């Protein structure tokens, strides 16, 4: 165990990956995680199991798990140790142990973590004072609101945020005087502060004031970023102000129309909600409205209508392509064959542009449809053209066909970079969590393998450059000399 390896794990989710840690927690296998923390020096396992032990009141074992990590100076372990000590009742000692020194007070990340611990120890006013100088950073404003929730200091937080909003208002006003309002100085930050003020007012039970803050800002005529009307719409929906929400949706359909439709549905006006969304699609045809209508139709059990609603997006080239979701809807409805028909109806042009995506979807659907032999044949053929690239898909089809040991053997021998993750997932699904942990490379092994892959990529890139421009890799260029 060393700092470099732990830093690599934190950046790249190496070692025992977070999803597997959660899967083992869900299975109640805390002791396996404890063992992995001790024997493998795996930080993800150590942090998760320490938190579980702490929640169970086993503070001594939780602290002991942290000791090897704090001994080498891993700061994350020091923070967790302090948190456990606070829960144990040793708050003053814990805070003294991790208190930022003078050089760290300018680091927002350090101050945010320490403020969180101050709040957990009941020293909320100190936490607010610590974060106040950092409120120029939007994420620290949000952290201030998060760590004080439920602590009984909403008035203090509102006072601090109000001062910050006034400061930003002054910056914006001064900038507008100089440039005529074209530069937008301070504007986005002020909007963010107003949203946070509204949020704190709402959680404090002052809902009328929460609405009025955003209502007044909306009425000011200023231009706003997308999250402002969206948050305003959601606030109006939570407060049951449906008619006002309808007016907002008519003015800003992209931010509020789907929220308005859901509010109508929740109020027992599903027919109106559907009409609103269909009218919106007719007028604007934005995929967000199609997605909202699909959700509404699914909740009404109208899966086929939902699938047809999404059809115009199925060959989009961006995140609003709803094809995968439509296929999942049909599979969940027990009709993977119908999903295959939908996929097979995609145009040749789209398939040509997205061959891997379409092949993977098809293999998944063949497995869901019980046509495993057909899928295995197709995955094997793909693997012959691209050795190892389709091992994980082939293994899933083998497992689906009841050939679990063949699937496991394939994954164990695979060169695919994520085969070890699929191997562990498969073992967990079959009740073999200890074997699953053994299948995961240690942090040092994973780091070494990743560095080898990176060197290989660099060599291949250099070879491609050499083929395209002979001599370029050596810094030689076939141009006339400047003399």
pLDDT digits (tens, 9 = 90+) for 388-435: 999 999 999 999 999 999 999 999 999 998 999 999 999 999 999 999
Query: What pLDDT is recorded for position 225?
Result: 76
Query: What pLDDT is recorded for position 370?
Result: 96
Distance CA 86, CA 54 (A): 11
pLDDT band with cut points at 50, 70 and 90 for residue 481? very low
pLDDT digits (tens, 9 = 90+) for 10-24: 998 899 999 999 999
Mean pLDDT of 191-200: 95
Query: What pLDDT is recorded for position 471?
Result: 61
Distance CA 299, CA 297 (A): 5
pLDDT digits (tens, 9 = 90+) for 203-212: 999 999 999 9
Average pLDDT over all residues of the chain: 92
CB 47 within 8 A of CB 15: no
Query: What pLDDT is recorded for position 185?
Result: 46
Closest CA to 215 of 240, 196, 195: 195
CB 400 within 8 A of CB 372: yes
CB 277 within 8 A of CB 256: no
Q: Which residue has the higher pLDDT, 303 or 468?
A: 303
Mean pLDDT of 459-470: 84
pLDDT for 478 beyond 70? no
CB 203 within 8 A of CB 225: no
Q: Which of 82-86, 226-230, 303-307, 329-333 has the lowest mean pLDDT?
A: 226-230
pTM, rounded to two decimals: 0.86
Query: Distance of CA 471 to CAs 230, 455, 457, Å?
Result: 55, 20, 19
pLDDT digits (tens, 9 = 90+) for 248-302: 999 888 889 999 999 999 999 999 999 999 999 999 989 999 999 999 999 999 9
Which domains, and CATH codes, for the chain?
249-313 (1.25.40)
pLDDT for 476 beyond 60? no
pLDDT digits (tens, 9 = 90+) for 142-158: 999 999 999 999 999 99
DSSP 83-113: HHHHHHT-HHHHHHHH---TTTTT-HHHHHH
pLDDT band with cut points at 50, 70 and 90 for residue 460? confident
CB 236 within 8 A of CB 211: yes
Query: What pLDDT is recorded for position 177?
Result: 61
Mean pLDDT of 128-138: 94
CB 193 within 8 A of CB 164: yes
Q: Which residue has the tokens 């003053």?
A: 92
Closest CA to 427 of 408, 409, 440: 408
pLDDT for 241 beyond 80? yes
DSSP 185-201: TTHHHHHHHHHHHHHHH
DSSP 331-374: HHTT-HHHHHHHHHTS-HHHHHHSHHHHHHHHHHHHHHTT-HHH
Calculate what percentage of the chain has a pLDDT beyond 70: 94
Closest CA to 239 of 270, 198, 277: 198
DSSP 126-176: HHHHHHGGGTTSHHHHHHHHHHHTTTT-HHHHHHHHHHHHHHHHHHHHHHH
Query: What pLDDT is recorded for position 254?
Result: 87
| Token pair for 191 | 């909007």
pLDDT digits (tens, 9 = 90+) for 319-358: 899 999 999 999 999 999 999 999 999 999 999 999 999 9
CB 17 within 8 A of CB 40: no
């Amino acid at each position: 165990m060393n700092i470099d390896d732990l830093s690599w794990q934190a950046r790249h989710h190496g070692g025992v990956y977070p999803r597997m840690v959660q899967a083992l927690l869900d299975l109640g296998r805390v002791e396996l995680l404890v063992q992995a923390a001790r024997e493998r020096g795996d930080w993800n396992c150590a942090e998760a199991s320490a938190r579980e032990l702490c929640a169970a009141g086993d503070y001594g074992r939780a602290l002991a798990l942290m000791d090897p990590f704090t001994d080498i100076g891993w700061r994350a372990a020091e923070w967790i140790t302090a948190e456990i000590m606070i829960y144990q009742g040793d708050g003053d000692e814990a805070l003294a142990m991790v208190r930022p020194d003078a050089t760290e007070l300018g680091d927002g990340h350090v101050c945010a973590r320490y403020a969180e611990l101050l709040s957990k120890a009941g020293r909320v006013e100190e936490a607010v004072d610590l974060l106040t100088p950092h409120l120029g950073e939007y994420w620290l404003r949000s952290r201030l609101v998060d760590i004080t929730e439920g602590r009984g200091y909403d008035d203090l937080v509102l006072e601090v945020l109000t001062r910050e909003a006034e400061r930003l208002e002054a910056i914006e006003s001064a900038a507008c005087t100089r440039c005529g309002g074209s530069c937008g100085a301070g504007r986005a930050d002020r909007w963010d502060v107003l949203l946070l003020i509204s949020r704190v007012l709402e959680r404090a039970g002052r809902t009328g004031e929460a609405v009025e803050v955003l209502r007044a800002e909306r009425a000011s005529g200023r231009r706003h970023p997308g999250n402002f009307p969206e948050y305003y719409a959601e606030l109006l929906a939570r407060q049951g102000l449906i008619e006002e929400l309808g007016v907002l949706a008519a003015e800003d359909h992209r931010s509020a129309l789907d929220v308005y439709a859901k509010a109508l549905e929740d109020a027992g006006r599903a027919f109106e909600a559907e009409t609103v969304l269909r009218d919106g699609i007719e007028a604007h045809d934005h995929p967000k409205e199609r997605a909202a209508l699909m959700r509404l139709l699914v909740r009404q059990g109208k899966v086929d209508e939902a699938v047809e609603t999404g059809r115009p997006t199925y060959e989009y080239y961006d995140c609003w392509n709803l094809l995968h979701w439509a296929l999942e809807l049909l599979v969940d409805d027990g009709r993977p064959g119908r999903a295959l028909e939908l996929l097979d109806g995609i145009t040749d042009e789209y398939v040509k542009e997205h061959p891997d995506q379409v092949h993977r979807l098809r293999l998944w659907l063949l497995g869901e449809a019980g046509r495993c032999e057909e899928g295995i044949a197709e995955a094997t053929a793909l693997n012959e053209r691209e050795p190892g690239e389709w091992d994980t898909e082939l293994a899933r089809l083998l497992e689906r066909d009841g050939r679990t040991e063949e699937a496991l053997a394939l994954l164990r021998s695979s060169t695919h970079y994520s085969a070890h993750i699929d191997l562990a997932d498969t073992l967990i699904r079959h009740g073999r969590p200890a074997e699953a942990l053994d299948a995961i490379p240690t942090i040092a092994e994973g780091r070494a393998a990743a560095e080898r892959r990176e060197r290989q990529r660099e060599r291949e890139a250099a070879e491609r450059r050499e083929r395209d421009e002979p001599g370029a890799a050596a810094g030689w260029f076939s141009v006339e000399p400047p003399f």
